Structure 1
Amino acid sequence: MSGSATPRRLRRWWHRRSLRTRLTVIAATAIAASVFMAFQVASELLDWELRATAEDQLRADSRVLAANAERAGLAQVQLPPYPGSGRLVRVVLPDGSTRTPVGQPALPPVSEAAGRVARGASADLMESGDSDDDGYFVYTLRAGGGAVQVARVADDSSINRFGLGMLLIGLLCVVCGGLVGRAVARTGLAPIDRLTAAAVRVARTRDLDADIPDEGGGEIRQLIQSINDMLAALRDSRQAQRLLAEDAAHELKTPLTSLRLNIELLIRLDRRGTLDSALPSESRTRLLNDLGAQVAELSTLAAELTDLARGDISDESAELLDLADVVVAAATQACSRMPDVEVALDVTSVWVSGRPAALRRAVLNLVDNAGKWSPADQPVRVRLRTEGASAVLEVDDAGPGIDAADVPRVFDRFYRADSARALPGSGLGLSIVQRVVDAHGGQVTVGRSSRGGALLRVDLPAASIARLTAGDDAAVR
């Protein structure tokens, strides 16, 4: 359990460190690993070079001693005196006995392989022993019916001194690498520090107009540009919210004022006890109907404002649906809201990927808008068909149509043409239509119908055959 907890503690410790500390540790670790690898490679090369040099020297000394033994014989050849350190010599006689200089330290016993050289089985042999009891390089060379051996103590002092030097150099490099890594991290992260300070200043002051200066290059510049783009989007969102609030306050003022005046009139007459005499039954009914209409208008406006102020179309998820079902449901709802308006449907089955409630609201707004302008004896025509890879919905009326000057602003929030001021509505219906259509990857346009009225056309991407087939298979399963 403790073994698994230790890596987790190390990860938590690492994640709590600053980026500057991480870069410093990474730089120092990389340098330490590089020095260690260099030390290992250099040690192996030095050991190989020293061993090769020692073996070459042993072969040269053995050839000199073997030449003397060939001339004087192994038993009579004069062995060089032991100098106190360094080279060791020995003669192996044919009977297996050995001769060594006086005062020379004893060499390891003659090995079986060296004995075979003395007996003529092979010409020479290089042996090495790295243990504490046998730390020699021994070269055996066939000579005079026996063999001569020249040995040298295996000395690792040079490698040890080299290793100590490399260790000190490595520690110095690690310290220097840490300092350099810290300096590089400080220099490289300076733009990040300034960016952080600027972001904190924006968060503290709420000043979205303060763009962060563009500096640095590569990823730093991309990060700064992304944050500036985010600030610009926040500025646009705040401006849109301000305009929405101002427009909503302006649109709410008129119905609220009218509603308040009518209610105050009723209260004042009731307090005086002159309600029945001052307001005949017909006038009272008309006033109450006006109050009901004003309340309904406020309810509609509040619902449309709520729908429009949301950042998304709705919380519902997109699904494969038959747009014809949505159009029929929306037309039925419109007829119940406007019983005096006739809706003529000409729809075919077209499958799309979308949000049912949002699309139904958009179609309902289109039919409501057409119903306001359509004469009593002329129906609102709703047509749905497939055109290429698109589902095309057209809603037209026989009214006066939309003036060319009003077409560019017909989808703006709260915009109402001069001719529409006297009609009920908030000026939000077509704006909601455009937002729903845009969210579904479609397009809504305004034209003139063959009957002289307005023609609003919606193009939505139709669902592909592959998706329809996949949906059918899922339904079967």
Structure 2
Amino acid sequence: MAIAVSVFVAFQVASELLGWELEDTAENQLRADSRVLATTAERAGLAQVQLPPYPGSGRLVRVILPDGSIRTPAGQPALPPVSEHAGRVAQGASADLMESNDSDEDGYRIYTLRAGDGAVQVARVVDDSPINRFGLGMLLIGLLCMVGGALVGRTVARTGLAPIDRLTAAAVRVAHTRDLDADIPDEGGGEIRRLIQSINDMLAALRDSRRAQRLLAEDAAHELKTPLTSLRLNVELLIRLDRRGTLDSALPAESRTRLLKDLGAQVAELSTLAAELTDLARGDVSDESTEVLDLADVVVAAATRARSRVPDIEVALDVTSVWVSGRPAALERAVLNLIDNAGKWSPADQPVQVRLRAEGAAAVLEVDDAGPGIDAADVPRVFDRFYRADSARALPGSGLGLSIVQRVVDAHGGRATVARSARGGALLRVDLPAAAPPAPIARLTAGDDTAVR
């Protein structure tokens, strides 16, 4: 529609310009013919000048005598009466006059030029037929061009948008079937190809997410099965003995106390496992904002929590102030998991050593124990979900602690590694990008002009 309006406006402007050009050409021709006739009339006299006979078409001439009478060639059609303004030219009031006379039948353009004691007039019939024919021809050409352009444009558009149609159909099919394994054919070019590639990348990410979700659910079900079975058997045993009234006789006080401790330990293990599963399932989704913090404060807080949870763990701290950009609660959870893991292996008389220092542009955290260390075969899988070495299966835990450490470190742009410590145990090292410490805030104490940092 915009192209059609533009074409018609262009044709209208062209017609107007052509009309103005033809009108200007006709007026110039009238002036030239009038000058020739005026020169001849001045030589021969207005009353005696020989007027050529009317050829049947073209220009029309007329001589205005001083007394106001007129002379015209034989056989020439009658022109409109001499106007008042043309009479003034004949009387010498002005030199010339260009005027138009439009009637219901024929319209004339008349040029009056002073000649001797009178005036001469040359006229032509105003003919709009060339402009009308030009406008009609341009209209037909425009219609043909628009129809042809519409057909070509529709064909080009349908051809160019065919990949979009197939992309839409594929997206609808994926939405209905939930089948994320069907890649969309990479076709087209330019923006369309980039769009298809982006959607294929999105489908691949969704496939990976669904696969990770399924593996997490399967692993969680497997890990929950054993503690839940043990807890259910112990509870059923207590209920059965209580119903029979033989709880006191069948279970001595020592055995009952041991059983209740086992139940408490199993419930605690399930609670820890549920919390870790929730943490893993949430992934990087967290309402906690990132801030610039002193990692030493986080390490001290994590060590305090570790001592309160397991009083038998002795933690030796050697930390220096290192600033990083991160989420405090997530980092504290990661450090706490590292200390808990080391506390499982470190002998009672050997403390877990936690060291924090700045090394270049990184904050380096090391946690080591004096335990038996990690076998070389287990090192590549230490940070995998639910992975537990054979030697660790008898110890409490779910195999999720170090995987949570790995996720938190990755989210902060760091790196977690494992090696053997100088004491023969495991050395877990975390490297995080260091950040510039925040600028000190100056405040004024009431009644004092000195700024206190």
1:82–1:104 contact (8 Å) kept in structure 2: no
Which residue of 70, 78, 83 corresponds with 2:42?
Answer: 70
Check 1:425–1:60 CA distance in 2 against 1; reply closer, same or farther (3 A cut): same
Which residue of 180, 191, 197 corresponds with 1:219?
Answer: 191
Check 1:162–1:325 CA distance in 2 against 1; reply closer, same or farther (3 A cut): same
Counterpart of 1:390 in structure 2 is 362
Deviation of the 1:128 alpha carbon: 5.7
Counterpart of 1:437 in structure 2 is 409
Counterpart of 2:8 in structure 1 is 36
Counterpart of 2:433 in structure 1 is 461
Deviation of the 1:252 alpha carbon: 1.1
> Deviations along 1:274-302, whole A, 9 cap, x unmatched?
32233222221111111110110011001
State the TM-score, normalizing by the size of structure 2: 0.85
Check 1:35–1:254 CA distance in 2 against 1; reply closer, same or farther (3 A cut): same
> Within 2, Cα distance between the matches of 1:113 and 1:390?
104
Q: What's the secondary structure of 2:85's corresponding residue?
A: coil
Counterpart of 1:283 in structure 2 is 255
Check 1:68–1:201 CA distance in 2 against 1; reply closer, same or farther (3 A cut): same
Check 1:426–1:64 CA distance in 2 against 1; reply closer, same or farther (3 A cut): same
> Within 2, Cα distance between the matches of 1:318 and 1:130?
87
Counterpart of 1:409 in structure 2 is 381
State the TM-score, normalizing by the size of structure 1: 0.81
Is 1:351 the counterpart of 2:323? The answer is: yes
Q: Which amino acid aligns with 2:300?
A: V
Is 1:232 the counterpart of 2:201? The answer is: no
> Deviations along 1:45-74, whole A, 9 cap, x unmatched?
422442343234324422431332232023
Counterpart of 2:85 in structure 1 is 110
Deviation of the 1:112 alpha carbon: 11
Percent identity (aligned):
81
Is 1:101 the counterpart of 2:72? The answer is: yes
- Write 1 or 2 for the structure with the bigger share of helix: 1
1:449–1:455 contact (8 Å) kept in structure 2: yes
- RMSD between aligned residues: 3.2
> Deviations along 1:240-273, whole A, 9 cap, x unmatched?
1111111111111221122122222222333333
Check 1:86–1:221 CA distance in 2 against 1; reply closer, same or farther (3 A cut): same
Name the stretch that deviates more: 240-249 or 265-274: 265-274
Greater CA radius of gyration, 1 or 2? 2
Which consecutive unaligned segments of at least 5 residues does structure 1 have?
A: 1-28
Q: Which amino acid aligns with 1:227?
A: I
Is 1:419 the counterpart of 2:419? The answer is: no
> Within 2, Cα distance between the matches of 1:211 and 1:130?
78
Which consecutive unaligned segments of at least 5 residues does structure 2 have?
A: 444-450
Name the stretch that deviates more: 98-107 or 450-459: 98-107
Q: Which amino acid aligns with 2:229?
A: T
2:90–2:114 contact (8 Å) kept in structure 1: no
> Within 2, Cα distance between the matches of 1:240 and 1:277?
50
Name the stretch that deviates more: 251-260 or 214-223: 214-223
Check 1:130–1:210 CA distance in 2 against 1; reply closer, same or farther (3 A cut): farther
> Within 2, Cα distance between the matches of 1:219 and 1:162?
44
Counterpart of 2:447 in structure 1 is none
Check 1:315–1:130 CA distance in 2 against 1; reply closer, same or farther (3 A cut): farther
> Within 2, Cα distance between the matches of 1:383 and 1:82?
121
Q: Which amino acid aligns with 1:213?
A: P
Name the stretch that deviates more: 385-394 or 439-448: 385-394
> Within 2, Cα distance between the matches of 1:319 and 1:179?
60
> Within 2, Cα distance between the matches of 1:429 and 1:415?
10
Deviation of the 1:207 alpha carbon: 1.8
> Within 2, Cα distance between the matches of 1:431 and 1:130?
100
Q: Which amino acid aligns with 2:123?
A: A
